[in-house]
Amino acid sequence: MKQISIIALLAVLLAGCGATTARGDKGRAEDYGFLKKLGFNVSEIYKMDQKLVIDYNRPPAEMNDAQQDVLLRVVGEPFRVEDDIEGVFSIIGIRALPSGYTLILYNVEFGDGASRVFAIYDRDGNTTDYLDTGYWNESHPDESNEDYTHGTAYGDETTCTFDTPSTMKLGRKFRFFEWTSKKDAYENNMVQEFWCIDKEYDYSITKEGTFVLDNIKSQKIGPVDAEIDQLEEISDLNYVPRNDNTIFDTMNRLALRDDMKRVLTREDSQVGYRFQGVMHTLYTTKTQALLEWISNHRDPKTNALTGILEQCFSSGWIPKEHLIEVLDQMPDGDTKRYIEKLTAQWGPADAVG
Q: What would the pLDDT profile of 291-337 be if each residue is shown by its tens digit?
A: 999 999 999 999 999 999 999 999 888 999 999 999 999 988 999 99
pLDDT at position 80 over 90 = no
What is the pLDDT, as a whole number, of residue 87? 76
What is the pLDDT, as a whole number, of residue 9? 35
Give the tens place of pLDDT for each residue, 117-138: 999 999 999 999 999 998 888 8
What is the pLDDT, as a whole number, of residue 169? 93
Give the tens place of pLDDT for each residue, 83-108: 566 778 899 999 999 889 999 999 98
Separation CA 277–CA 271 (nearest Å): 10
What is the pLDDT, as a whole number, of residue 260? 95
Average pLDDT of the chain is 84
Separation CA 134–CA 113 (nearest Å): 9
What is the pLDDT, as a whole number, of residue 352? 44
Sequence-separated (6 or more) residues with CB below 8 Å from residue 261? 255, 304
- Say if residues 85 and 79 touch (Cβ distance below 8 Å): yes
What is the pLDDT, as a whole number, of residue 129? 94
Separation CA 50–CA 164 (nearest Å): 9
What is the pLDDT, as a whole number, of residue 56? 61
- Say if residues 272 and 311 touch (Cβ distance below 8 Å): yes
pTM (predicted TM-score): 0.83
What's the mean pLDDT in 32-49? 90
Q: Check residues 51 and 207 and name the one with the higher pLDDT.
A: 207
What's the mean pLDDT in 29-55? 80
- Say if residues 13 and 127 touch (Cβ distance below 8 Å): no
Q: Read off the pLDDT band of 254 (50, 70, 90).
A: very high
Q: Read off the pLDDT band of 181 (50, 70, 90).
A: confident
What is the pLDDT, as a whole number, of residue 21? 31
Separation CA 75–CA 84 (nearest Å): 13
Number of helical (H) and strand (E) elements in the chain, helices listed first:
11, 12
Q: What percent of the chain has pLDDT over 70?
A: 85
Residues listed for the chain: 353
pLDDT at position 30 over 60 = no
- CA proximity to 67, closest of 45, 37, 42, 87: 37
- Say if residues 165 and 204 touch (Cβ distance below 8 Å): no
Cα angle 41, 46, 47; round to 5: 105
Give the tens place of pLDDT for each residue, 138-171: 887 888 888 888 899 998 889 898 888 899 999 9
* Cα-only R_g, the chain: 25
Q: What percent of the chain has pLDDT over 90?
A: 57
Q: Read off the pLDDT band of 346 (50, 70, 90).
A: very high
